[in-house]
Structure 1
Amino acid sequence: MAKKQKKPMNEMSFMDHLEELRWVLVRSTIATLIAAVGIFFFSDFIFDQVIFAPTQPDFWTYRFFCDLAQQLGVSDICVTEMDFVIQNTDMEGQVTMLIWTCVAGGFIAAFPYILWELWKFISPALYEKERKGAKVFISVSSLLFFMGVLFGYFMIVPMSVNFFATFKVSELVKNEFNIDSYMSMVKTSVIACGLFFELPIIIFFLARLGLVTAELLRKYRKYAIVGVLIVAAVVTPPDVVSQIIVSIPMLIIYEASIFIAAAVVKKKKIAEQNEKLNG
């Protein structure tokens, strides 16, 4: 049986585009589930040595801030104990947690492939020169995502755990966190940071479509700075050094997005001027 040929972009109807998007989602979901099955076989290591590692006082981040504070001569912020317990209160709680943790891990592991599927979907709308940048797009986007995941895991998660573990409205109240709450915080922090680090890529395409400009991003820069500082103040110990370390990468990402939006708009204007001169 002859293989069905894919229609050219300009000949595809709205329903054809929806069908293409549906298959992108189907293939991405399958890739995520395959990766989730692979992660299942390493679940003991992932839970004990990765997910619950930030609950230990000797976690890398706590030791880093402790050494840094001692070198700078600021107030002692060393973590010596974690005065809380993580408990499960639902009959099927641990089974459900295992399944969704594997799925979340599968999404992270399969992210480069998901990017490749998205690239194949949007590439017909790009110029020929831009289509040749597939490897660059996949590499840079994957790198930014994994950098965000690591930032979330080594900075946001342990700082959040330390904050909520030490925060008490009264000494009479003991912290006993539900495992669902802990896992939700870990997954949200890690994946959200990974996606936030994709901001320059998202801005690139939005700027290409004329939906975002550098002027607009500069206009809302002060609100972005306030938002980043609030997040940093919430998840870090009450010292300026920790807040700055957490804030700087996020602010750099935002400033890089402004630079990218400006470059895209400038390139579009030059292309339009060349078309007028040649036309």
Structure 2
Amino acid sequence: MIAYPIDPAELIARIEQEKPGWLARARDRKDAYAQARAYVEGGEFWGEIKGVYIALQHEKCAYCEMKLAGKAYAAKVHEVEHFRPKSRLRAWPGDIKRLKGYTPPCATGGASATGYYLHAYNPFNYAIACTRCNSSLKSDYFPVRGTRNFREEDAGLLRSEDPLLVYPIAGLDVDPAELITFIGVLAVPVHAAGPLYERAEVTIRFFDLNHEDLTTRRAEVIAALYLALRGKELAADAADIRDFSDGIARYLSPATGFSACAAAYYALYQKDRSLAVQIGREAQKLLPR
């Protein structure tokens, strides 16, 4: 995961530019849900501003960082993710088969029949996610360490719930890089213990960030970055050095898939060259043949 920094006022401005009048309609819908005290299905229109988040997130999933198709195919591959589920909530990990026997490092909150209905049309409750992360994994789970607050309308103030997942947009939460880093292709907590460790551990488990589907793709990035770094060191021609430097910059760009993993590998390469070389060579072995 990476942060997608944007001033909250700028995000609101982009939404209004993308779909004039959307914000007013969203307020009306929120008021209707407040009166009903529940999310009422039908006539959903959050997809109308999907393009704002696609552009902000560089066409990447907010959670696994997989690069998705462009805006032209948004309806097929980009899903509007409600960070806090808009209707019911299930207790996590519950009876999820892949987590059988797993004990979370802290409390993760109970279930709810209504969920965060006041945030169904809150722009600061949206992100773009792939089908794997949004529909298959996140679904209607939202683990929190504290007490759920279904009455608060300000997403920024909901940090009092002590959520265990990370919202990466608009600076409303901690930078994911403060919680999760990478050792080779594996996502690991930055901290060894404490609340930040617990958030990282739960997030990694929740989104199955070390599944082979993702580690194989990270191996491709590390292998390519390793070759670019080594190539730059060995190159004698100025043009070749520039080409390798440009390649390195592309892998580290937030617009590139799995850039958080690339950044961690790059930092390791500067700090511990021999270990980085070993990991780079191992990454090449993981590539499909």
Q: TM-score, normalised by structure 2?
A: 0.27
Q: Return the structure number with greater helix share.
A: 1
Name which one, 1 or 2, has greater alpha-carbon Rg.
Answer: 1
